[in-house]
Structure 1
Amino acid sequence: MVFKRLLGSLGVGGPTVDTVLAAGAAVPGGSLSGQVHLVGGTDDFVIESITLELVARVEAEHEDGESHNAVAFERFVVGGGFRLPAGAEHSVPFTVTLPWETPVTELYGQGLGIVLGVRTELSVAGAKDKGDLDPLVVGPLPVQEAILEAFGQLGFGFRSADLEYGRIAGSGQQLPFYQEIELSPSPQYAHTVNEIEVTFLATPGEMEVILEADKRGGLLSEGHDAVTRFTVSQSGVHHQDWNALVDDWMRQLVGHRAAYGAHAAHGQDHGHYEDHHHHDSGHHSGPGMGTVVAAGAAGIAVGVVGGMVAAEVVDEIGDFFEGDDEEEGGEDEG
């Protein structure tokens, strides 16, 4: 829990709401559980509905520069239709399923700087109020963790992560934004690229991995962006040689000579991606995930990941999402 407020639209004496999420990080496509605790006000109230809204701090590019907005990307009605007597306490348990494209906010317990929140909205006597806001912590799926760890073991470093408003053309993207994880190049590629951006688009069975390289210019050529995409299975993670696979991806990426544009902004589709599909058959040999995780000190996760610690995330959530109604965009579902 972060904030517990009086139901502002009803003024002093209204019920209070306090949402408590289950401990630990959720994962994309996984369950998010918790309880909504209500305490009645000075009068009886009919709680018409209790809605949980997932919100994200998203960057949007404009002609005049960049801006950050709170984007709602999923809504769940988890209760309602009951009378809350004055001063009475009532709890509503819930379990909801996160979208598969929910951004990852931490890796091995270290924050990436991504700000997500769960906002609780009460509908009482025809009035609505966003009465409670909690930080949402999301860890990586096994295949995301394996790919990022492989980058780390190959010598790449974490630089930053953000959420970009827009859609990637030719993909099955569902959310109005996508996550970019920016990596510094390994020594092998430092003379060729300035940075690598990794985007994951997950579905129940597969993971689309989009790689973009900011390639350096030479004496006779200008720098440009090169983009490739690959698709791997969500299963068979323990049997894949991820280091070899990611190294192969990088060789294909830096071998591109054509120039590509940047990712889409303002919700516009981006149509410059090449399609390179590499399906994981699950029959490759290599280190198991236990070995990969144990070797984290050599990878991206340990000692390299930056971002905000938990307390700073709480402050960021509150400062950004409180009073953001006019800036909010996204999809109203449910």
Structure 2
Amino acid sequence: MVFKRLLGSLGVGGPSVDTVLDPGAPTPGGDLRGRVHLKGGSADFTVEHITLELVAHVEAEHDGGESEGAVVFHRQVVGGSFRLAEGEARSVPFSFPLPWETPMTELYGQDLGITLGVRTELGIAGGKDKGDLDPLAVRPLPVQEAILEALGRLGFVFKSADLELGHIRGTDQQLPFYQEIEITPAAQYAHQVNEIEVTFLAGPAGTEVVLEADKRGGFLSEGHDTVSRHTVGHHGVDRVDWNAEVESWMRQLVEHRAPHGSPSPYGSPSAYGAPSPYDSHDAYGHGAPHADKDHHHVHHGDGHGHRSGPGMGTAVAAGAAGLAVGVVGGMVAAEAVDEIGDFFEGDEEEEEGDEG
């Protein structure tokens, strides 16, 4: 993965930058590695800093409708404070962890339609210039993959994925946006639910799984949304029967049954060390805050850790592949390619306009 740019603000003869990411897609919380290759210009320059920005294409809902834009969600200084001589070639290696809540862009090699980019900013002699955006691929954590694989095996099908600007109240969300993975319900739930949205909020000690169901209305009732939340750990993923675990979550969500207050085998409900806003409430979430995105109560899952099943995070089942591709998998992949092209081309046009 390469992007190269002559620093226009420095004029003709300025240094060029060629940033190369190591092959393979990292996971959230995993290290992003690569090298920034510099080529000196027609004079000596002092490089004050080399900074990498992580950028996401995010949707925002507001009173006027919806809008889309780019959000920088992480900046990392990877080098600087050196003299770049005229014509000198220099390579600066870098390695830094991605934010834990970095969205996944692919599942089993299938593009989910999420657009992330990396951009290099070079600060020289009191000025700075930014390079082009280039796509960044991120694969799911093992526990995220296991949950999505279980959903596929249970008959749920991937529909779409996007990034929503906002914060889910009652969670320890760190980024200014969250990822929603929309899935169509399995046959046994299709008469009760239109669609289900899955959000993962990962942290060092575990992952919060927020599930939201768009429930169908009945003869005398309108449709409404229900939300539940579950906390799982990063370790022992291959010892959990995820089919049984996820199916119990879905039954609770669809039937709107509050879980019992049994302790979770994954540890404290507040997986990130901060006090949970639900610690003082019962298992039914009475008095709990609402989720900002749709103003619904968020409940804890029961966290029953079924250990009887085989390790499911190591094999790709047909159902899981179905979740990744879905009934419109080819269309999703094609649209994702077009969206990435538009996003990065638009960024270049904006920067060229600024330089002009």
TM-score, structure 1 as length reference = 0.88
- Alignment check: 8 A CA contact 1:213 1:254 kept: yes
1:286 matched residue in structure 2: 309
- Alignment check: 8 A CA contact 2:237 2:313 kept: no
2:3 matched residue in structure 1: 3
Distance 1:15 1:308, change over 3 A: farther
Quote the Cα distance in structure 2 between the aligned partners of 1:66 and 1:302.
26
Structural mapping, 1:111-260, within 5 Å = 111-256=111-256
- Alignment check: 8 A CA contact 1:240 1:280 kept: no
Distance 1:324 1:60, change over 3 A: farther
Q: CA deviation at 1:231?
A: 0.9
Residue 327 (structure 2) pairs with residue 301 (structure 1)? no
Which of these residues, 347, 351, 356, is aligned with residue 321 of structure 1? 347
- Alignment check: 8 A CA contact 2:142 2:313 kept: no
Quote the Cα distance in structure 2 between the aligned partners of 1:32 and 1:44.
30
C-alpha distance after superposition, 1:135-184 (max 9, x if no partner):
11000001100111111111110000000000011100000000000001
Residue 285 (structure 2) pairs with residue 272 (structure 1)? no
Q: CA deviation at 1:280?
A: 6.0
CA RMSD of aligned residues (A): 2.4
- Alignment check: 8 A CA contact 1:26 1:32 kept: yes
- Alignment check: 8 A CA contact 1:54 1:118 kept: yes
Distance 1:231 1:256, change over 3 A: same
Quote the Cα distance in structure 1 between the aligned partners of 2:11 and 2:138.
34
- Alignment check: 8 A CA contact 1:205 1:235 kept: no
Quote the Cα distance in structure 2 between the aligned partners of 1:317 and 1:273.
35
- Alignment check: 8 A CA contact 1:155 1:186 kept: yes
Q: CA deviation at 1:290?
A: 5.5
- Structure number with the higher helix fraction is 2
Structure with greater contact order relative to length (CA < 8 Å, sep ≥ 6): 1
| Greater shift in the superposed pair: 53-62 or 290-299 | 290-299
1:328 matched residue in structure 2: none
Quote the Cα distance in structure 2 between the aligned partners of 1:2 and 1:316.
18
Q: CA deviation at 1:303?
A: 6.0
Q: Which amino acid letter does the alignment assign opposite residue 308 of structure 1?
A: A
C-alpha distance after superposition, 1:28-57 (max 9, x if no partner):
000010000111112111111000011100
Quote the Cα distance in structure 2 between the aligned partners of 1:262 and 1:324.
38
Quote the Cα distance in structure 2 between the aligned partners of 1:232 and 1:117.
29
Quote the Cα distance in structure 1 between the aligned partners of 2:350 and 2:224.
37
- Alignment check: 8 A CA contact 1:115 1:316 kept: no
C-alpha distance after superposition, 1:235-254 (max 9, x if no partner):
11101111111111111111
Q: Which amino acid letter does the alignment assign opposite residue 118 of structure 1?
A: V
Q: CA deviation at 1:276?
A: 1.5
Q: CA deviation at 1:289?
A: 2.4
SS of the residue 2:212 aligns to:
strand
Unaligned runs of 5+ in 2: 259-288, 352-356
Distance 1:274 1:314, change over 3 A: closer
Quote the Cα distance in structure 2 between the aligned partners of 1:183 and 1:240.
22
Unaligned runs of 5+ in 1: 326-334
- Alignment check: 8 A CA contact 1:117 1:317 kept: no
1:44 matched residue in structure 2: 44
Q: CA deviation at 1:293?
A: 1.9
Give the share of equivalent positions with the same residue, in percent: 66
Q: CA deviation at 1:2?
A: 4.6
SS of the residue 1:201 aligns to:
strand
Quote the Cα distance in structure 2 between the aligned partners of 1:34 and 1:298.
30
- Alignment check: 8 A CA contact 2:148 2:320 kept: no
1:19 matched residue in structure 2: 19
Quote the Cα distance in structure 1 between the aligned partners of 2:321 and 2:37.
43
- Alignment check: 8 A CA contact 1:240 1:286 kept: yes
Q: CA deviation at 1:232?
A: 1.2
Q: CA deviation at 1:308?
A: 3.3
Structural mapping, 1:78-93, within 5 Å = 78-93=78-93
